[in-house]
Structures are given as C-alpha cells and as structure tokens.
Structure 1
Amino acid sequence: MILILLLFFVASIYVQQNKKKLIEDARKSIEVKYNSLVSINDIQLSLFEQFPNLSIQLKDVDVKGPKYNLHHQKLFLAKSISIRIKTWPLILGQIVFNKTKLTNGQLFIYTDKDGKRNIVEVKEKQNKSSSSFPEKIELNNFTISIKDDQKLKDFNFLIHSLNIKTNETKSKILFNVKNKIAVKALIFNHQKGSFLRDQLLEGDYIVDYNKIEKIISVNKIDITISKIPFEITGQFDLKKNGLFYLNIITNNIPFQSAKSILTNNINRVLKEITITKPLNINAIIKGPLSGGEPTVIANWQVTNTNIGNSQIQFTSANIAGTFNNQVNKNLAPHDTNSSINLSKLIGNWHQIPIETNNIQISNLTNPLLKGGFKTEFNLAALNPPLNTENIVIKKGYGKFNIYFEGPLTNITENNTRLKGSLEINNGEIFIKPIKKIITNTFADILINNNTVEIKKLTTKTKEGSQLNITGISTNSLAAIPNSPGKANIILNISSPFLDLNNFSSSIQQDVPRFKKSGKNTFSRIDHILENETIHINLTAKSIKWQKLIANNLKSTIELNTGNWQLKNLEMNLGKGTIVLSTKMITTNNRKFLSAKYQVNRVKAEDLFYGMNSFSLPGISHKNIRGELTINGLLTTKLNQQGGIEPSNIKASVNFQLKQGRLLNYEPLLKLQEHIFKKRNLDSLYFATIQNNLSIEKGNIHIPRMEIATSALNLFIGGDYGLDGKTKLHIQVPLNNMIKRNQSKKMNSSSNDNKGGTSLFFKALSDKTGKVTIKIDPKGSQYKKEQIAH
C-alpha cells in the first residue's frame, strides 16, 4: 500500500509539472489518429477514481471530427475519460491500461445525403492499429447516435450504465456485458418510424466476436425490455456486405407492450385492436448491415383471450398469427409488402362459435383484409350482437358462412368482394313493432358482393298467417352507417292467408327509447329499418282485417325513413272490389295518415260487418243491405298507439247504395212514435241512395238527400256525430199519407226534390248517444238553405 502511495505521489508530481505537455501530446495524438480537431481541458492522475489502481483522467474532451465544417456535428464529447493503469505491472516499470471509463458524453456517427461520413477517417486509422481491445470498458450517462440521412436510418441510445469485460484470444474476443440502456430511436427507415422507442434494455450476458470471421454472435442471451424478459440469439457479419440475423423470443408479453416496441406504421394498423391476454412471440429479424429495411417474420400465439375492435369482439379465443414484412421475396421489405396472418382463430363471437384459419391483413400502407369463417349456432345467440330493440330471437338453429376481401376502411362496391350465406332453421322470433311472434321460420339467404338475396324465407304467426318471402338488396354496403347512398331493398311477400290484424301495431307512434350501447355491435338492423328504403310487393289469396275477409290481395308497400306508403292495394270482397292507396309520414315526431279509397259494388252488410260498422253509432251490418260503391279521400293524425281517433279524421265520402234495404234502423223506428204508426218501417227497401258526405272533427256532415223506400219517401240531412253528438233534419212529405205504388217513386228519387208540403222532425242524441225524435220548427228553413246550395 505504501508502494502504491509512493508511486501515486511521484506520478502526480510528474503529471502536475508536465500537464501542458501531456495535454498537448494527448490532443495531437488524437488529432493525428482521428484527423479531428480536439480539445482537452485538463489531465489528472487519480488514486480513488478506480482504486486500488491508478487512473489517468481527461476532463472535458471535445472531438469535432473530420467533417465538422461540413456537418456542424461534433463526433465525440466526454465530461470525463478515466483510463485505469494496472498496479503490479506499474511496479515492475510497465504501463498497462486495462479499463476505460467514459462519463457524461456522446458519440455521434453521421452520414449525410451525399454519403459523406464523419468517421471514415477514423475507421481507416483504426484498421491500421494493432493495439488490443481494452480489457474493461465502462460507460455512464453516455449517448451513442448513428444517423444516416442517405439510407434514412437513425439509431439513438442513452447508456445509463454499460460495463464490458473482455477475454481475448488469438481467434476471438468474449465480451461480458452488463447494461442499462434506453433506446431513444431505432429507425431503419424514417418514413416507418422507430422500433423500441423509449424502451429500457437491461441485461447481463456474453457477446462472442470471431476475429478471423469478423462475426459478432450472441446465443440465447437474456435481456429485459421495459422489465419484460426476452431471449435473443443472433449474429452480425462485419465483413463488407455482411448480414445480420436476430431471433427474439418472449412469452407472456402484454399486447400493449408488444405494440410499444413496434413502429408507428405497424401500430397504425394495430391501434384499433385489443387483445386482453399476454402473447408468446418468436420473431426473426435479418438484413444487410450496410443499410436498408430488415426482413421481419414474427410468429405469435395467445390463448383464452378477448380480441377485437370497436365493431367486433371474439371471446375465449385461441389464436396463432404471423407478421411478415416481405411477403413477396422478389421485392424488398416494405409496408406494402407486409401482412398479418391469422393461421388459427378459435373462439366465440358473443355465444356463437367461430373457427377459421385464413384471415390476412396485407399491405399495411393501405390495409386490405382477406378471409372468412364458417359457423353453426343457436339462433338466440344472435340477440346480443344484433343489439336491436325491434327483433328478439327466441329459438332456432343457424348456419353462417362468410368470406370478405377488401379494405378495412372506405369500403365501396368497387373495392370489396363479399361472399356469404345464412341458413335459418325452425326459428321463432318476436317482432316488437307489431308485438307478434313468428314461428317455423326457415330461410336461405345469399350474400354476393353488394347484393343480399333472400332465396327463400317462410314463416308463420301463431294466429295462423303464413308468409313466403323472397327478396334482394342491392347497394347493400350503403346500409352501413356513414356510408354514402342508400341500399335498395325489394321484398316479395306472398301468403295463402294473412291476418292483417297481426300487424296493425306496426304503424304505432314512436315512443321514447333508451339509448343502447354500441359496444360489440356488428349488425345494423335498426339502422336499416329506420333509414333505408324498403319496397315490398305483397300478394295474398285471403286476408283478414278486423272482421273483414277478402281475397286476392295485391299491393306495393314502400318503407322509407320511418314513413310508409301503401300503393294500389286491390282486393276482392265478394263480387266487389276495394282499391286503396295510403301514405303515412312523420313530422315533428307525430305520424299523419292520408288515404285515397274506392269501393266498387261491395255488399254493404259485408263491409259494415268486416269494418265493425266504421265505429258509427246507431247503425251496423244488421241494419243495412245493398250494393255499395264509395270513393273518397281521408287524412288523420295518429295517436300514440298508432290508432285513429274520430276527432282527428278529415274525409270526403262519395257513396252510392243500390238495391238497398234498411232493417230496424232506430231513427225511422223513433219516427213511428209520431207518424206512420201502422206502417212497417222495420224493413224498408230502396233502389238507390247517393250523396257526398264530409267528415271533420268527429262529425259526418250529410247534405240533404232523398230516401225513397218501399214504405215512404223522406229527406234526411244534417250532422251525424261519431262521438254521439247527432243532429239530423228529417223531412216527411205529406203525400206519404196517400197509399201509392212506391216502386215508381223509388226509381225517380232525387236529392234536389223539394218534397212538397211536409212535416219536419229532428233526430237528436243525448250524452249517452241515445237518439230521440222531436218536431223541427226550423225544418222548412233548413230545406230552403240546402236546396239553395
């Protein structure tokens, strides 16, 4: 120890007395060797820096490099360089350096766009040197940057600590390395972004350098990247045009951590994907050391995970996949030459089992998805992914087969290929808008690019209606929300028997709905029902509406954004026909109905029975007979339940009743309390009655008309209240007192006849709707006003 102190004392005196010369010699030595401008602020001999060995310390070393005037980038900076001198050789009179320690510095190796490098001269000088590699190297808080603007590379490492021990033989050097290094940039191409950005690398391992072959190699060394363990095997061929090879293995790495070590370009494709369980990854990276993008092939596996994006999620999935950035070996590695393949995906989409081995995302610059799957499933499992308030599937069995080829975004008919089929067996489905369950549902549906075709769909309602449906949807991709245009959906529905009462609630008023979560939503059924145009061609051999039974129904229905239109509905009622066109539109969240109707030569009693007497008080199918013809217009506002309230109806009714008969009609029977007490007014025949009625605010206005019956002729006019508020004017000509042949009078009746001297009555209803007959003192005035019109 005393000897060491003595040596230190003597050496310190020497260094102190010759400091200027030593600094100058060191500076010139570096300048000559590296062809660089060098400055050294101070030189010292230290006993304690690398005790118990002496060390020479250079302070504030600045090496500008041979191209500083061109690049304005310094080659090397160091706050402190400590070179350790072995003690025992020094005692024997030999100076042996065995450790170099660099603190608070940087090394910057730069190549400009013209290929001029700031270290060319350094390498030439170093190649001529025969000095051996230092036994030990230590770096602390030291930055190494290698930037190549010609090849668009940028490597930047912040070395928190690096300790290297060397063991050199004639043929190789073994480096025992212990490091803690932060990767600031590992860019092979500026346009692609950095691998391992801001990741911390830590490890304790051995690096083998074969001096003869000029190959650096590592074999299954353990390194952690941001605390996640990796096993790395590889080699770097330092000869001209040499290659490098790396095999990187890690297990149980979280997906977010795996993404964080990849470039921005790759992450752009992966950013919408979530994987909940950690992955096992085995990656191979290889390429030329001289530059260019390396080839990357990464195989990965994950078990029992959830995987998906905002649109679709798979649960309990076992997945195996590969990333390859050189799919075509004849082309260079590039994002456009890259792919992500799923060689295995076994999992569940909600409760639907999914299995596939052929899903690929290629061309990461403009990603294209290619692949599909087949599945067989319980139909009720479709309820969560359909995520619709309008349809609830109770039971059934389904088969689904889908294949897709096209972009991940901006999907259009021209850039997408889609093939698929859906088979439904014995389905039972609740349809909320009509509050009905359809059963025995069988369907065969094909998807071909932009077209969806219903080859066959049959179903029944529990009330006995049967539907046979075929159809086609073109421009189907427009049914996706935010897609341009509209889908064109055409359905052909036929039925041997159709109970329209089953579907009467389908026009009900919209009610407030709870907002449903869009999470995991794949279907857009509600979107289609609420926003797309649907054309329906409907035919039925027999239909029931209220109590009406009609035959040979034909109609066209158009549903469009919450509105619907019934065009040219035709059906037979007995020997007569009914023609109807109806439209329902929504304005300010209220629904309005308009209709144009025509009834031709229909039995009045059948129509009144079938339509529940149109809710007219005091008259029903029991009171009327004859051949009825009607045409007119109707508008009304629907109530919250989709029903029609009499007070909202506004209509015109042009009717004609031929060969008619009135049976037990209460106003005429009440008339007998005043006159014609001995005449049979409970059964009256008449040839023709015709008039133009108007309906508004719950009131039917009847212009004065003549009714020439088999027992008498009379005139009736006024208002018939649908809500019970009736006020009818009845004129009974006195010539009815004379018995005569009424058949002649029945055939010559006219609403313009004055009727001669007459008695006038009025039929009034009370609050209960009961009708009473009273003398009408203003009846003559009413007659004059009506005839004047």
Structure 2
Amino acid sequence: MPRWLKNTLKTLAVIVGLVVIAVVAVSIYISSHKQSILADITKQLNKNLNGGSLSIQSMDPTFLSDFPRISLSLKNVVLKDSLWKVHHHTLLEAQELSISVNTFALFKGTIEIYKVGINKANVYLYTDSTGYTNTSVSLDDVKFVMDNQKGHKLFNFNADDLKGKIDYPSEGWKANLRLKVLANSMAFNTLRGSFIKNKLLDGTIAASFDEESGVITIVPNTLNIGKNPFIISGKINTIKNPGSFALDITANSILWRDAAVLLAPNITEHLNMFDIKNPIDVNALIAGSFNAGGDPKIDVKCKVENNTLTTPVGVVDSCSFRAAFTNGFIKSRPLSDENSAISVYQLSGNYEQVPFKVDTGRIINLVKTEVEGTLKSQFAVKKL
C-alpha cells in the first residue's frame, strides 16, 4: 500500500474516531442530564406564548437526522391556548416534535433551537360564540431564520411585534397581519447580497389562500419599509412550482437613493452612479422561488418629470424621462449582472444650458458596460 494512502487512511480513522467519541460523549451527557435539558427546552418553547402553555412528556436523542447538530425527538407534545380551561379545545397535539439544537451551547447549559419539525399531529382551530378564536397569532421579540445554503438563500427576520387573525371560509383561509419586523437579511442569492437589509417593516399585510389552486394571494396594502410607504401585493404558489412567488411593489413618492438601497448590493452599486433630486414614482416586479437556487427576476420602472439628474459626467436640469431596469434583458439568457440593462425612454433636459433629447438610451451589461442611444439637440453654437 502506498505511504500516502496509508497516511490518509490513518487520518480518516482518527477523524471518525473523534466523531464517535464526540457522539458518545454527547449521548452520555444528554442521558445524565435528560430531565434538566427537557425542562430547559420546555421553558424555551414556552417563551412568547402569551398565556398559553406547551408540555412535553419525554425526550430522546436522534443524532444522525441533522448531524453535526444535535437532534432531539420530543414525545407527546401538547400546546394549549390561554383560554383552554374555558373551552377545552387543545390547539396542537403532536406525537413527535423534532428539534435541532446547538451542540456547544448545550454543554454551556443553554438551549439554542435551530429547527422545529412537527410529526403525527392534530390541530384544532376553534372560534366560540363570542368571537374568541385560537386562530389569532401573536409574536413578540421572535427571531425567524431560513438558511438554505444549497440554494444560496438566507432569510433572517426579527419580529418585534406581529399580531394577526386567521379566518377559515369554505375553502382555504384569510389572514390579516399587523407587523413590526426587522429584516436582517432577505437574500434570494447570498452571492449577490440582501434586499431591504436592516430595514424595518411596519404595517399591515392581508392575504388569502385558495385550497384548489394552492395560491396564496397578498392583497394590495401599505407597508412601510424603512421610512418609505410601499403598496405591496403578490402571489405565492404552494402546489404548482411550490415556493415560487411574484411580488408587485409600488412607491408613489420616493427618493432615488432610498429606492436603490432597498435592492441587492450588486444592483444598488450601479444605480448609485446616478441621483435624482426630487421624489419619483417607482414600481418593482420581483419573481422567483423561495426554494430553488438562482436570482429572482427583477423589473423596476420609474417616471421622472422636471427633475434634476446627477450623472458621472455632470448635472442635467429640467430633466424628464421614463426608465426601466431588468436583470433579464435577453430572455433566452440567465438572470445575471451580465444580462442586466438600464433603459431610458423620452429623455429630455438641459446639460450646461444645452437642451437635448434621447428617444431611447441603454446601459447594457453591468460587468462590461456598453452604452447605446441617439442624442438629438438644437442650440446656438456660442453655447459650446
């Protein structure tokens, strides 16, 4: 046997041995501290229940289901709302609740839960004659993270305050949510960066779900993102192409830089080459998937009237135009910076007191930039 192969096998044997020792050590630790760990997990899961209660009968480790994190199987989990003693309808009864916890935090005596899965459960949604319902939702200081490293997606939100109510008509459901949520990250592609990074979402979202089509429809409503109000609507599919979505976002009066900073950094960088003095109307269509990898399709349109445009080569006064950005300029090519374009239509203004017009101008390919367009102007030679 070659020496290099022998050394490699020895190294692998040592690594496997260390892993086995670690698993055995964790197993011994959990077995000897089962009651205290179960009590800590129950306490952690009971946080923010606002008067409700959650009980767990027993716990068993299931190490390999989410290795290298520690996976635990919680048996016979019961969740009751705050008025259970009045109506005696249990909100959730699950034969098994599977969770993943931070290994190192566990040895320090703290519980950090990464993932929760519900198996073999009954859910009882209840509304009494007075209108009280256990379908109301209330979250206070709750963190939500969805980290999809395979698809390069990271959604990280802190719910400072989220309250809502769900109604169940003949088919599907309707929900109204009042939220105050900090978007730490909304990265559809972590290689490009996050949309609305570190922006506060404050407002109301109304949505409905159609059972037959499997479509969640977000009704147009005003939601503040940072300091600016937006009208947001959209659709999310749960049956056909599950996880796919389309969002329509409109701001009727927003500063150029305030709009640009809400996009992913690779787009913001190029839009910040320009600035517009007064607020403008902006509409964005974002379509993609919460599950699949790759960038979402982004189409942004804006309308500028009698404004001041600052460019890398100078300032344009009395400026009016319509503009559009897309990251899918040529439909047959992948969505990317190379396939992105900024198009300008009916551009008119004064540059250094020289009036000009451009019917259509484009900046194509944000990596190796190309500029195309035809400029028309009539002016006295002395203005040169």
TM-score (norm 2): 0.72
Contact 1:316/1:347, CA 8 A, preserved across alignment = yes
Contact 1:249/1:282, CA 8 A, preserved across alignment = yes
Shift of 1:300: 0.7
| Structure 1 residues 719-743: Cα deviation after superposition (integer angstroms, max 9, x where no partner) | xxxxxxxxxxxxxxxxxxxxxxxxx
- 2-side partners of 1:297 and 1:267: how far apart? 14
Shift of 1:274: 1.6
Shift of 1:227: 2.5
| Structure 1 residues 377-434: Cα deviation after superposition (integer angstroms, max 9, x where no partner) | 123333xxxxxxxxxxxxxxxxxxxxxxxxxxxxxxxxxxxxxxxxxxxxxxxxxxxx
Q: CA 1:91–1:257 in 2, change beyond 3 Å: closer, same or farther? A: closer
Contact 1:43/1:58, CA 8 A, preserved across alignment = no
Q: CA 1:164–1:68 in 2, change beyond 3 Å: closer, same or farther? A: farther
SS at match of 1:334: coil
- 2-side partners of 1:107 and 1:259: how far apart? 38
Shift of 1:199: 1.0
| Structure 1 residues 348-382: Cα deviation after superposition (integer angstroms, max 9, x where no partner) | 11211111122111111222222231100123333
Shift of 1:63: 12
SS at match of 1:171: coil
User: Residue in 2 aligned with 1:365?
Assistant: 367
Q: Which amino acid aligns with 1:378?
A: A
Computed over aligned residues only, the root mean square deviation of the Cα atoms, in angstroms, reads: 3.6
Contact 1:208/1:216, CA 8 A, preserved across alignment = yes
Match runs of 1:532-551 below 5 Å: none
Q: CA 1:260–1:74 in 2, change beyond 3 Å: closer, same or farther? A: farther
Q: Which amino acid aligns with 1:159?
A: A
User: Residue in 1 aligned with 2:270?
Assistant: 269
| Structure 1 residues 244-269: Cα deviation after superposition (integer angstroms, max 9, x where no partner) | 11111111111111111011111221
Give the alignment partner of residue 302 of structure 2, picking from 294, 300, 303. 300
Contact 1:277/1:303, CA 8 A, preserved across alignment = no
Q: Which amino acid aligns with 2:321?
A: I
Match runs of 1:52-63 below 5 Å: 55-56=52-53
Contact 1:281/1:300, CA 8 A, preserved across alignment = yes
User: Residue in 2 aligned with 1:719?
Assistant: none
Shift of 1:56: 2.5
Q: Are 1:72 and 2:74 matched, yes or no?
A: no
Q: CA 1:289–1:132 in 2, change beyond 3 Å: closer, same or farther? A: farther
- 2-side partners of 1:194 and 1:68: how far apart? 30
- 1-side partners of 2:272 and 2:62: how far apart? 42
- 2-side partners of 1:83 and 1:164: how far apart? 18
Contact 1:319/1:345, CA 8 A, preserved across alignment = yes
SS at match of 2:52: strand
User: Residue in 2 aligned with 1:171?
Assistant: 171
User: Residue in 2 aligned with 1:197?
Assistant: 197
SS at match of 1:335: coil
| Structure 1 residues 28-86: Cα deviation after superposition (integer angstroms, max 9, x where no partner) | 9xxxxxxxxx8324899x9xx85xxx633679xx99997686243889xxxxx995332
Give the alignment partner of residue 117 of structure 2, picking from 110, 116, 122. 122
User: Residue in 1 aligned with 2:128?
Assistant: none
Matched positions, count? 314
Contact 1:85/1:97, CA 8 A, preserved across alignment = no
- 2-side partners of 1:65 and 1:195: how far apart? 36
Query: Following TM superposition, where does structure 1 have runs of at least 4 consecutive aligned residues deviating by more than 6 angstroms?
Result: 62-68
SS at match of 2:259: helix
Structure having greater relative contact order (Cα 8 Å, sep ≥ 6):
2
Gaps of 5+ in 2: 1-33, 73-77, 93-98, 102-113, 126-133
Q: CA 1:107–1:313 in 2, change beyond 3 Å: closer, same or farther? A: farther
Contact 1:107/1:145, CA 8 A, preserved across alignment = no
User: Residue in 1 aligned with 2:41?
Assistant: 39
Q: Which amino acid aligns with 1:283?
A: A
Q: CA 1:63–1:336 in 2, change beyond 3 Å: closer, same or farther? A: farther
User: Residue in 1 aligned with 2:156?
Assistant: 156
Q: Are 1:344 and 2:346 matched, yes or no?
A: yes
Q: CA 1:64–1:249 in 2, change beyond 3 Å: closer, same or farther? A: farther
Q: Which amino acid aligns with 2:237?
A: D
Q: Are 1:288 and 2:292 matched, yes or no?
A: no
Contact 1:39/1:63, CA 8 A, preserved across alignment = no
User: Residue in 1 aligned with 2:107?
Assistant: none
Shift of 1:309: 2.4
- 2-side partners of 1:230 and 1:64: how far apart? 46
Q: CA 1:83–1:175 in 2, change beyond 3 Å: closer, same or farther? A: same
Q: Which amino acid aligns with 2:351?
A: W
User: Residue in 1 aligned with 2:141?
Assistant: 141
- 1-side partners of 2:44 and 2:378: how far apart? 80
Q: Are 1:84 and 2:81 matched, yes or no?
A: yes
SS at match of 1:194: strand
| Structure 1 residues 480-504: Cα deviation after superposition (integer angstroms, max 9, x where no partner) | xxxxxxxxxxxxxxxxxxxxxxxxx
Contact 1:241/1:289, CA 8 A, preserved across alignment = no
Contact 2:69/2:100, CA 8 A, preserved across alignment = no
Shift of 1:212: 3.2
Larger CA Rg, structure 1 vs 2: 1
Match runs of 1:564-603 below 5 Å: none
Q: CA 1:43–1:187 in 2, change beyond 3 Å: closer, same or farther? A: closer
Contact 2:79/2:90, CA 8 A, preserved across alignment = no
Contact 2:42/2:54, CA 8 A, preserved across alignment = no
| Structure 1 residues 596-630: Cα deviation after superposition (integer angstroms, max 9, x where no partner) | xxxxxxxxxxxxxxxxxxxxxxxxxxxxxxxxxxx
Shift of 1:130: 4.7
SS at match of 1:202: strand
TM-score (norm 1): 0.36
Q: CA 1:27–1:132 in 2, change beyond 3 Å: closer, same or farther? A: farther
SS at match of 1:191: coil
Shift of 1:332: 2.2
Shift of 1:166: 1.0
Q: Are 1:131 and 2:123 matched, yes or no?
A: yes
Q: Which amino acid aligns with 2:271?
A: L
Q: Which amino acid aligns with 1:361?
A: I
SS at match of 2:230: strand
- 2-side partners of 1:107 and 1:277: how far apart? 50
Q: CA 1:130–1:273 in 2, change beyond 3 Å: closer, same or farther? A: same
Bigger shift: residues 265-274 or 337-346: 265-274
User: Residue in 2 aligned with 1:636?
Assistant: none
Q: Which amino acid aligns with 2:320?
A: N
SS at match of 1:182: strand
Q: CA 1:357–1:241 in 2, change beyond 3 Å: closer, same or farther? A: same
Q: Which amino acid aligns with 2:210?
A: N
Q: Which amino acid aligns with 1:212?
A: E
Shift of 1:180: 0.6
- 2-side partners of 1:96 and 1:271: how far apart? 54
User: Residue in 2 aligned with 1:375?
Assistant: 377
